[in-house]
Every structure is written in structure tokens, then in C-alpha cells.
Amino acid sequence: LIFLWVGRGLTSLAYSAELIDKIVVVVNGEILTQRQLEQERFLNQGKWEIENMIDSCLLKQEAKKEGITVSSEAVEEYLSKIKANFSETEFQLILREGKLSLAEYRGWLEGMFLQQILINQKRMQISEKIKVEEEELEEFYQKLKQYLQGEREGEEEIKQFCYYYEEELKDIGKIKIALIVMPDKDSISTAENIFQLSKKGVDFSTLAREFSQGPNAEQGGELEPLKLKDLAPFLREVISFMKIGEIRLIKEKSLFYIIQLKDRKELLFAQYGPIIEEYLRQERVEKDLQEWLEALREEAEIIRI
């Protein structure tokens, strides 16, 4: 094992120790130690491994190569905002817990700024080169539309999009219907007469309250908004091709159904096309960004101790 003599003395946190610091990895000649790894774990709430430390080091090195700098004023301003949340004693105790000097914490903040500036610049550079083709956009739109309408299984990319835009999409694909349900002991002519009355403009809710023996008759036959996939197959097959406001009469087994499609929340391309395009662009940006970072790793001289 290789060890570094770090030193003896008082720090700004008023603690002193004789530290023997183990080297864990060397990245392009830059030594990273166990102490730094533990500090990073503290600052990142435990979610930090050697590979993360290597990536962070590579990004900071690349930022410096590209001439990116962070002013001491920017670091101090951000540090002041953090310190404003604590008393001086509390802040010093936090640093002590993380085995950090104030200078080390400043250095860590500067490194975070360097990495973020570099990554933002790379994202912009990559984004400028990416063009989402119309065919790709249309294909994604159709898959998403069919998935939201319950007509197909969702691929991982589609499900991820729905997760990101859950609030905006929560009602897409839902329909609102009203039903008049009558047993077949009532003749077809009776059902047909009610059907014709509804088509002539007699209020559907009034007819449902008077004649329906189905669910929610007292509410005018209206069901809560639901997705096509949640309907019985025979209803789904008919309603799939209905237009808003249209009324149909069907018979299934021993029941007549008069169906009114009151509303359908559709995925409109004019509204969601730009959102989909930006999503596809950002997915490509992140993919290319990861490939760029992987190239940095491959080109680097990394020695794990």
C-alpha cells in the first residue's frame, strides 16, 4: 500500500491530527485519497464511490483544459448562502463531522461549479448538432397515442416519457360516456324508440333517468372518466370508432345498450408534438453526453491502488 504523509497541525476547525492518508486512485497523475473519498461521501450523503470520484476528477481536469474558471467571488457568494442557514457553531460542527477544513470545502464548491459549467457547455454543443427527424417524431407520437388509449403495450421509452409528463398526460386517453341499459325483455322497438329520441335531441340524461336500469341511471347514465382498456371488450370495440356526441345502440347477450360518447381526451400532435420533440432531443443529448464521458475515461490513465 502507498501512503501519504498529510501533516500535523491545527486547522480552521481547531482539530489536529497526524494523518496517514491512503491513496485509492491516480487519475492522469492526480492523486485521490481515502480522505477525499470519505469527504465526498459525506458531502453527497453517502452516495459516492471511487468511480464517481474518478468521473468528478476527469470533469474538473477537462474543465481546466478548456479554460473554464470560477471566480473566488462566486464561490464566496454561494458559501455565504449556505452558511446563512446555520449558526457559525453549527456550520463548524458540520465541517468537523465531514472531516473538512473550510479551505477544502471551498475547493469542493469550486470543483462542483467547474463540472456544472463544463457539462452545461457540452450539452449546448451537443444539442446544437441534434435534429429530430419528422419520421422519428411521428413514430413516437403514434406509439404514445396508442399506449395512452390502451391499444398497445408501452415500450420503455414511452413509459419513461409518461413518467416525466405524468401530470400533463393523466387525462389523455380517457373517455366519458353515458349509458342507457335495458334488459331484452323490453322489445327492440322500445330500445329503438329511445335511441331515436336521443338522436333527435331529447336530453340523454333525462332518458337515462327514466328508462335505464344500468349503473348511474340517477346520474343520467354518466360514468366516471375511464380509459378504453378498462371497458368491456364489446363496448371498447364500438366506442373506439365513435365521435364525440355520437350515440349508438347495440345488443350484448341479454341487454340493450344505448351509448353516448360525451368526451374523449386525445393526444393532439399540435399540442404535444413540440414536447415530444424536445424530449427526444434531450434523450439524445444525454446519450451523447454519456458517450463523451466514457471516451474521457477510456483516454485517461487511471491507476487503482
β-strand pairing of 302-304 with 19-27: antiparallel
CB 239 within 8 A of CB 227: no
Q: pLDDT tens track of the chain, all 305 residues?
A: 222 222 223 233 323 333 458 999 999 999 999 999 999 999 998 888 999 999 999 999 999 999 999 999 999 999 999 999 999 999 999 999 999 999 999 999 999 999 999 999 999 999 999 999 999 999 999 999 988 877 778 789 999 999 999 998 988 888 999 999 998 776 678 899 999 999 999 999 999 999 999 888 999 999 999 888 888 989 988 998 899 999 999 999 889 999 999 998 889 999 999 999 999 999 999 999 999 999 999 999 999 98
Dihedral pair phi/psi, residue 57, rounded to 5°: -65, -45
How far apart CA 129 and CA 133 sit, in angstroms, is 13
Sign of CA dihedral 298, 300, 301, 305: negative
Give the mean pLDDT of the chain: 89
DSSP assignment of 234-255, as one string? HHHHHHTTPPTT-EEEEEETTE
Rg (CA), the chain: 32
Q: Which domains does the chain have, with CATH numbers?
A: 3-129 (1.10.4030.10), 134-167+268-287 (no CATH), 174-264 (3.10.50.40)
How large is the angle between the packed helices 50-65 and 34-43, nearest 10 degrees?
A: 90
Q: Which residues contact 21 (CB under 8 A, 6 or more apart)?
A: 3, 4, 6, 33, 34, 35
Dump pLDDT digits (tens) for 75-120.
Answer: 999 999 999 999 999 999 999 999 999 999 999 999 999 999 999 9
Quote the pLDDT of residue 186: 64
